[in-house]
Structures are given as C-alpha cells and as structure tokens.
Amino acid sequence: MKIPITRPLLGIEEADAAHKTILSGWVTQGPKVAEFEEDFAEYVGSKYAVAVSNCTTALHLAMIVAGIKSGDEVICPSMSYIATANCITYVGAKPIFAEVNEDFNLDIEDVKNRINSKTKAILLVHQMGMPADIDAFQAICKEKKYNINRRCCMCYWFRL
C-alpha cells in the first residue's frame, strides 16, 4: 500500500511562472526574487524576508545569527530531515536529539529532560505541515533565555 505524504501542490500556474522566469534571462537574484521576498514578508507579518537557495542554508544562517557556536548544544527532533542536525554541526555545536510525539513534533517533556547548562537553543520543526505547540516551547525559552528557532519550511502558512 502506498500512502502519499507531503505531495507538493504544483500546477499550471507555477509551471507558467517558472517558464516566464527562465525566458526572462534572470536565472540569479532578479526581480522575481525581490517580489517573492516582499510578498512573503507581508504574508507572514514580518518587516523583511530574505530568500536563500534552500532550507539547509536558511538553517545554517539562523544558527549563525543566533550566535550558536562550538561547545553549545541545540535540542532538535530525533526524526526530521538531515538539514535539522547538519545546521547545528556546521557551527561546531552538538545536536541533542529529543523524542517526537504522534504528530511527529518535539515532545516537550523529553526536551525538558535534555536541557542542561550547555543548551543554547531549541530547534523546533513544524513537521510535515503540523504546527508544534509553539506557546509551550516559547515559555521554556523565555524562562531559560534560549533562542527558539522555528523551522517553518513545511508549515510557514499557519497562523499562531
């Protein structure tokens, strides 16, 4: 039996847009990227948005911006895409894998048990379109003064 998951919704509109962009000659940072950044920022209610080449790059940048460095620990889900752990190792830090629940999102009790003096951030992935309990994690991070890195590559459209 085949159970399709995370099948992308791409149709003629997306194909047309890609077609037009290819024919425009702008195959690097061009007007379409700027338009996308503006539209995305407006959609998520942010002042700015920066488009990058892929999710791994975005996460790597997020680790740098959050000041994560060698010797630090970052708690992340034990079941996710490899980019989740890779971005932590790229800055010399150690991924600490926490359990996930039935919705594949981080188990808050297991996360709490893994927090120690080296913990610098929690990398919260909204897995496969299912939003994690951001309020609960935000409360821990506020208390401990941690960074919370919300990975929304699979779920950026939901509202909190």
Ligand X SMILES: Cc1ncc(COP(=O)(O)O)c(C=O)c1O
Joined tokens for residue 150: 């919300």
110-129 footprint of ligand X as x/- string (CB under 6 A): ---------------x----
Cα distance between residue 58 and residue 34, in whole Å: 17
DSSP state of 100: B
Least separation in angstroms between residue 17's CB and ligand X is: 19
- Taking the least distance from each CB to ligand X, the nearer of 113 and 158 is 158
Burial class for 35, CB neighbours closer than 10 Å (0-12, 13-18, 19+): exposed
Q: Can you give 142-157 as a three-state secondary structure string?
A: HHHCCEEEEECCCCCC
Least separation in angstroms between residue 55's CB and ligand X is: 3
For ligand X, which residue of 49, 79, 81, 115 counts as binding (CB under 6 A)? 81
Helix axes 12-24, 31-44, angle to 10 degrees: 140
Type of residue numbered 101 = N
Ranges within 38-77 binding ligand X (CB under 6 A) = 54-56
- Taking the least distance from each CB to ligand X, the nearer of 100 and 111 is 100
The answer to the question of residue 154 lying near ligand X (CB under 6 A) is yes
Instruction: Give the interface with ligand X as residue ranges (CB under 6 A).
Output: 54-56, 80-81, 83, 125, 153-154
